[in-house]
Structure 1
Amino acid sequence: MKLAPLRVPLHRRLETLAVMQWWFTFLFIGLSSTLIFTYIFFFTSYYWISLLMLTWIIYDRKTPRRGGRRSDWLRRWRVWVYMKNFFPIELVKTEELDPKRNYLFGYHPHGIMAVGAFVSFGTEATGFSEKFPGMTSYLLTLSGWFNFPVVRDYFMMAGLCDVSKDSVDWLLGQSGPGNAVTIIVGGATESLEAHPHNYAVFLKHRKGFIKKALQHGAYLVPVYSFGETDIFEQVSNPEGSVLRTLQTKLTKWVGFAPPMFHGRGIFNYSVGFLPYRKPISTVVGKPIPVEKSPNPTQEEIDKVHLTYTESLVALFEDHKTNETGLQFKGLGLQFAPLNVPLERRLQTLAVIYFWTSFIFMGVFPSIMGIYLIFTDYYWVTLLAASWVYYDRKTPHQGGRRLSWLGVRSMIQWSYIKDFFPITLVKTADLDPKHNYLLAVHPHGIMSFGAVINFGSEATGFSELFPGITPSLLTLSGWFNIPLVREYLMMGGLCAVSKDSVDWLLGGHAGQGRAAVIVVGGASESLEAHPNNHVVYLHRRKGFVKRAIESGAYLVPCYSFGEAEIFKQMPNPQGSRLRDLQVRLTRLVGFAPPIFHGRGVFNYNFGLLPFRRAISTVIGKPMYVKKITNPSSEQVEKVHQEYMGHLRALFDANKTKYGVAGDQNLNFI
């Protein structure tokens, strides 16, 4: 593996950062904005912000089809110049364009991410306005982008518009002369042909843009981006292969099929998702005069299409070159060996599955539901929303385990357990004739210990505690998301609400129930630093009150190692970072910690957890006398007693699980 040197010029670092920004925008900005506004709507008291944004999108829905809302200031950002220089990208002019006319640029090929099209026609980094004075560039993209909040306005400021009939008609027929409208003719489907040195374009049956040019008398301009298909490597998918067949079916179903590709990494030149530094030369060909025909016949369309095809071939032949990739020398990180047992590979894959589920599980169903609203399958979203509403009480009434499906016993949970490894330590029996409230500490970054021990059977909970049924309680918002809610409930997860705890512990579900609560909540993740044993408990008394009201025994649980599996950026109390995180918490309900772990191919940096042991010790049950309406003094008394039991559990077990004898458990 070729690794990036540590000492490189600053401008190269800035170029890489610019491409990272663009890569994130291209792949995740739509998901991120939707996730944020979905979260604000369902989980905070600021739901009106999401409603306001949705109202704005509906009110402003025609703007992307009427030239957008461009900003030369954004198009001239310095970041686009750094991005241009990364490859580098150049815009090659072969003929003048008359600003008294309108032009329709046919851009080829799409490549994986259409980098050349965006930099050349969505920014001023390559000098479009200087090369073609008097011309205004518009790059047309998928209509769906303009349904995403914030994203739509960002794209329109760059001069991007909706690639629709109405949009093309407006730009070429109603907004005056001097417009250069760029359409990536092959569309996203053409990305499946994006292999290095493979010069294939989808054009034979693409004639809609020809018809538009005829209707408005816009001159056609062939454009070819040499190098567009060389900046990524794609898994081989020839016509007729199983992969291509699957991709074709996906395209018919959801409108696109993402190619399986890779490029370089941030710290290496061999594997990652950033593009390779290969030059891209976008050549703008000679304009093809088109006589206006408001209602062109098929013969007229075919004739112009043939002329366009011949011009594109001539452009390609005149400018094609044999380009070679740049070679770089590197300096290494600590990389994972290639020859490791299959078992360890499966463990890593299982943790990747968990990580992506944890971060993106709620995103994709939400995105898909929103996407379907704008298709003929809108009824699927309406049906799902109706079911969520109809079934809204189930997560607060014990969920829907469906044990026969075996979700809690799926093999990936065992692989995740063995990755660290995770163990469940029993110190006392739990009588099935009683109900229990298990309080788990600390939260850590992702609560691996809680999920594996109580949300699955990987560590043998049911064998260690026969007759006890655990229910891990998590944020109520998860149960507002279609599909996700069913999957979580099948694993025994329920909503962490008063009604849920009352139902589980108050006799409605019978005896032998164990409601599991991660007491510190997501806010406690800000304290998740290695060798830092801090729990949020001083003001967390609601779980104690619930235990008193139901007479459920309190059981302290401590996961040794939970805070060791990631490294978090220092954020001590009073620091600027912590102040910002606290403000974010108050604003949106949570503040994600800034952390890192290991990578898939290295042991130093990435978003996977380190392989550090997690030992979850379940303490001795603490008897709680049932009081239907406990006073504050009674709650405080039991709370103090519980803190004593938790501290004793920590002190009795800390040296067994790698904690120094002089380390203390601190309560906040």
Structure 2
Amino acid sequence: MLFVLDGSPDWSSSHPLARFYRNPKVHDFFRSLPLWSWSRLYFNAELVKTTDLDPSVNHLMCYHPHGIISMGLQTSLGMDACSFKSAFPGINRHVATLVASFKIPLFREWILLHGFVSCSSPTMKKVLSTPKASLVLVPGGANEALYSHPGTFKVHIKRRKGFCRVALQAGAALVPVVGFGENELYHTLDNGGGGMGGGLYKAQVWAMKRMSFSFPIMTHLLPRREKIVVVVGEPIGGPYDQKGRERKIIENPTQEEIDQLHKRYVEGLEKLWNDHKDEYGKGIKFENA
């Protein structure tokens, strides 16, 4: 009960164990384990930097697409296998993941040691309100995972604006990130169109709404050995919009303010894709659902 109730996933406790899980030195040690380098070698993963990130600014780095298990995110952003610390010195980041992930004994401890936190809005605001702390998030979530078919790049952010609200409330900048090759790792059963595919998708969505995660049906267990290239784009909003990088916090943003930031973010994400699709995109078309 002590391990379950210590408040570590949502940063809600000052208990010594919770403070241990929040220690950046602990995260650095586990993120640099050899097994993550093996993952990088397996996928020939690469991290591409397009601009510098100010370490004094809080960033909400949004990764697309979700894929089946977001291997590109784990290898390049969550861990140090692709030299994230060297590329973005001073950026103290945490990966936000499902609350359900912290209900599994031992696995819970494993991801906490790597700096993972709950993706609930209060936790995200708490982390992004901490000086020099940034977050990595997959806004498309479980629904996007259902469309992780090879030859596709379908993101689900057209109606997802909660991450923009959190960024405004915390005074954080949004950073679009594209994982080229993420959807190529697994072949999944087609759940599109009518007939059996449409019925399968409805069943998957029904289960997802009740359990907060989805069940993409894969045709093979191990991921294919495809190259993953993770491209980090330019920051949008937050202190980057202010003179002298002043932090502007909007505790109760209007729908218009949220919509404006969301529009700018989607445009930035599409630009990032278009700028690099010829080199890494394999002729795949960008889709926003």
After TM superposition, the score normalised by the length of structure 2 is 0.85
2-structure distance, mates of 1:85, 1:160:
23
Q: Give the Cα–Cα distance (whole angstroms) in 2 for the partners of residues 238 and 293 of structure 1.
A: 40
Greater Cα radius of gyration, structure 1 or 2 = 1
CA distance in 2, matches of 1:286, 1:119: 20
* Secondary structure in structure 1 of the residue aligned to 2:48: strand
Q: CA deviation at 1:292?
A: 2.8
Match of 2:149 in 1: 195
In the alignment, which residue of structure 2 is the partner of 1:146? 102
Q: Does 1:56 align with 2:3?
A: yes
For the 8 Å contact 1:217–1:292, the answer to whether it is kept is: yes
TM-fit CA distance, 1:322: 4.5
Deviations 1:322-367 (A, max 9, x none): 549xxxxxxxxxxxxxxxxxxxxxxxxxxxxxxxxxxxxxxxxxxx
Distance in 2 of aligned mates of 1:166 and 1:90: 32
Cα 1:170–1:245 change in 2 (3 A) is same
- In the alignment, the residues of structure 2 paired with residue 63 and residue 315 of structure 1 have an alpha-carbon distance, to the nearest angstrom, of 34
Q: Secondary structure at the match of 1:168?
A: helix
Contact 2:142–2:212 (Cα < 8 Å) also in 1: no
What one-letter code is carried by the residue in structure 1 that aligns with 2:273? Answer: F
Mapping 1:466-615, distance limit 5 Å: none
Aligned to 1:370: none
Work out whether residues 141 and 161 of structure 1, in 8 Å CA contact, stay in contact via their aligned partners in 2: yes
| Cα separation, partners in 2 of 1:318 and 1:251, compared to 1, 3 Å | same
Distance 1:161 1:296, change over 3 A: same
Query: Contact (CA 8 Å) 1:196, 1:229: kept in 2 or not?
Result: yes
Which residue is equivalent to 1:316? Answer: 273
> Does 2:77 match 1:121?
yes
Distance 2:156 2:175 in 1: 16
Q: Does 1:109 align with 2:57?
A: no
Describe the SS at the equivalent of 2:204.
Answer: helix
> Does the Cα contact within 8 Å between 1:69 and 1:153 map onto a contact in 2?
no
Contact 1:109 1:225 in 2 (8 A): yes
What SS does the aligned partner of 1:261 have?
coil
CA change 1:90–1:295 in 2 (3 A) is same
Structure of higher RCO (CA pairs closer than 8 Å, 6+ residues apart): 2
Alignment check: 8 A CA contact 1:141 1:160 kept: yes
- Alignment-mate amino acid for residue 303 of structure 1: Q
Counterpart Cα distance in 2 of 1:292 and 1:255: 29
1:88 to partner: Cα distance: 1.3
- In structure 2, what is the equivalent of residue 65 of structure 1? 10
Matches for 1:407-486 after TM superposition, within 5 Å:
none
Q: Which amino acid in the other structure matches residue 122 of structure 2?
A: D
Consecutive unaligned residues of structure 2, counting only runs of 5 or more, are: 12-18, 239-247, 284-289
Report Cα offsets for 1:463-493 as digits up to 9, x if no partner. xxxxxxxxxxxxxxxxxxxxxxxxxxxxxxx
User: Could you list the per-position Cα deviations for residues 387-444 of structure 1 after superposition, in whole angstroms to 9, with x for gaps in the alignment?
Assistant: xxxxxxxxxxxxxxxxxxxxxxxxxxxxxxxxxxxxxxxxxxxxxxxxxxxxxxxxxx
CA RMSD of superposed structures (Å): 1.6
SS at match of 1:180: strand
Offset, 1:197: 1.3
Answer yes or no: is the 8 Å Cα contact 2:237–2:261 preserved in 1.
Answer: no
Equivalent in the alignment of 2:179: 225
**Deviation of the 1:248 alpha carbon:** 1.8
Aligned residue pairs total 258
Indicate yes or no: 2:218 matched with 1:250. no
Match of 2:223 among 262, 268, 275: 275
For 2:168 and 2:30, locate their aligned partners in 1 and report how far apart those are by CA, in whole Å: 33
C-alpha distance in structure 2 between counterparts of 1:242 and 1:151, whole Å: 33
Question: Counterpart in 1 of 2:41?
Answer: 85
- In 2, the alpha carbon distance for the partners of 1:201 and 1:279 equals 20
Matched, 1:97 2:18: no
Q: If the length of structure 1 is used for normalisation, what is the TM-score? A: 0.38
Deviations 1:507-533 (CA, angstroms, capped at 9, x unpaired): xxxxxxxxxxxxxxxxxxxxxxxxxxx
Per-residue deviation at 1:168? 0.8
CA offset digits 1:156-191 (Å, max 9, x no partner): 111111111121111111x212x2211101112211
After TM superposition, the structure 1 = structure 2 runs for residues 293-304 of structure 1, keeping only pairs within 5 Å, are: 293-304=250-261
**Residue 254 and residue 322 in structure 1: after superposition, are their counterparts in 2 closer, same or farther (change >3 A)?**
closer
Where do 1:628-647 residues align within 5 Å?
Answer: none
Q: Secondary structure at the match of 1:225?
A: strand
Shift of 1:213: 0.6
Q: Is the 2:142–2:208 Cα contact (8 Å) retained in structure 1?
A: no
Q: Cα deviations across residues 363-397 of structure 1 (Å, max 9, x unaligned)?
A: xxxxxxxxxxxxxxxxxxxxxxxxxxxxxxxxxxx
User: In percent, how many aligned pairs have the same letter?
Assistant: 37
Secondary structure, counterpart of 1:233 in structure 2: coil
| SS of aligned partner of 1:286 | coil
1:286 equivalent in structure 2:
234
Alpha-carbon distance change, 118 to 55 in structure 1, aligned in 2, over 3 angstroms: same
